[in-house]
Amino acid sequence: MADVPAEKTYVTNATNVLKKVLMCSPVHYRFNAINVITAEWMKKGDTEKNEVMVREWQTLVDAYAENGVEVVQVEPHAECEVMTFARDFGCMVKEGAVIGHFRHPARQVETTFYEAKLKELGVPIVARVNAGCMEGGDFWMLDEHTLAWGLVDRTDEAGVANLREQLWKYGYTVIGVPVNPDNLHLDMCFNIVAPQVALAVPEQLPYQFLKALDRRRFEIIPVSAEDVFKHGCNVQAIGDGRVIAIEKNKHINDKMRALGLEVIDVPFDQILHAGGGPHCLTQPVERP
């Protein structure tokens, strides 16, 4: 009898060694007032400055390449104004991809292109939001059985309930984490950077969620509320104690270094005006 090939494992947690990611150039990015950060910069007369954004984005692509992470680039499309934030079309679990549903019509067209790339890569779709909304910036795997989605501005209770119904068969417990909507996504005030270590803005997170982290023996690196819109929590763990972070948030990066983490700085500035950082620009595809 022929051997049956083992099923492929995609993403098992938030901190194993990152092998492959999806990214999309900001060459066609357009400022859009669907987030508080960009809306404020627009009031000041700022514009997208695509050439600057592309240069900054390339430093993240290069950092991944230098650290052994394969970057699969999704072709940018002019009609997709915010497509560069590859995190948000959905998320990945061990079994494959979970396709979300964007709250804002300006972003809904992106899903088709990202899903086509997943199909090209042979990644199975294991769940799809067909009631309510979900964006990947709200998603975290707290452990191998517990999936958390922030109920912030872009993911709602209907979307989380819909995913709970679809994912229980894989053995996952799905929880919602209500957070002030000004935070946009959960990754703006919470980010897992190493096993049982997380950046967090405690006053922005609900008591029950903090207790859930405590039960799982997480060490919290505190980040102040004033650093939320400076993307202080918006970093990307790539495994083996390495984290890609924004260079100008030195005081936060130094806290991670003090715990023995290797922090790889990227010189982001203009991309931050668009409302996202390294975590937002990255969709993990393989982290077995």
Find the CATH number of the domain harbouring 176: 3.75.10.10
Give a yes or no: residue 14 inside a domain: no
pLDDT for the residue numbered 3: 53
Paired residues of 70 in beta bridges: 20
End-to-end CA distance of the chain, in Å?
Answer: 28
Number of Cβ atoms within 10 Å of the Cβ of 214: 10
Domain of residue 145 covers: 20-286
Residue 5 lies in a domain: no
For the entire predicted model, the pTM comes to 0.95
Are 221 and 199 contacting, i.e. CB atoms less than 8 angstroms apart? yes
Instruction: Please report the pLDDT score of residue 47 as a whole number.
Output: 85
Within-domain flag for 178: yes
pLDDT of residue 176: 98
Residue 15 lies in a domain: no
- For 84, phi then psi, to 5°, come to -60, -20
Q: Does an H or E element contain 42, and which?
A: helix 36-43
Please state whether beta strands 197-200 and 219-222 pair in parallel, antiparallel, or not at all (unpaired).
parallel
What is the total count of domains within the chain? 1
DSSP for 159-222, please give it: HHHHHHHHHGGGT-EEEEEE--GGG-SGGGTEEEEETTEEEE-GGGS-HHHHHHHHHTTPEEEE
Is 13 inside a domain boundary? no
- DSSP secondary structure code for residue 134 in this structure: B
Residue 123 domain-assigned (yes or no): yes
At 136, which helix (H) or strand (E)?
none
Nearest to 22 by CA among 90, 108, 106, 100: 90
Residue 1 lies in a domain: no
Q: Give the pLDDT score at 6.
A: 63
In whole angstroms, give the CA distance from residue 143 to residue 173.
Answer: 10
Q: What does the pLDDT profile of the chain (288 residues) look like in tens digits?
A: 455 456 899 999 999 999 999 999 999 998 887 788 877 877 889 888 999 999 999 999 999 999 999 999 999 999 999 999 999 999 999 999 999 999 999 999 999 999 999 999 999 999 999 999 999 999 999 999 999 999 999 999 999 999 999 999 999 999 999 999 999 999 999 999 999 999 999 999 999 999 999 999 999 999 999 999 999 999 999 999 999 999 999 999 999 999 999 999 999 999 999 889 999 999 999 999
Query: Where on the phi/psi map is residue 49: left (φ > 0), alpha (ψ -120 to 50), or beta?
Result: left
Is 241 within the bounds of a domain?
A: yes
Q: How far is CA 269 from CA 84, 116, 133, 263, in A?
A: 15, 31, 29, 18
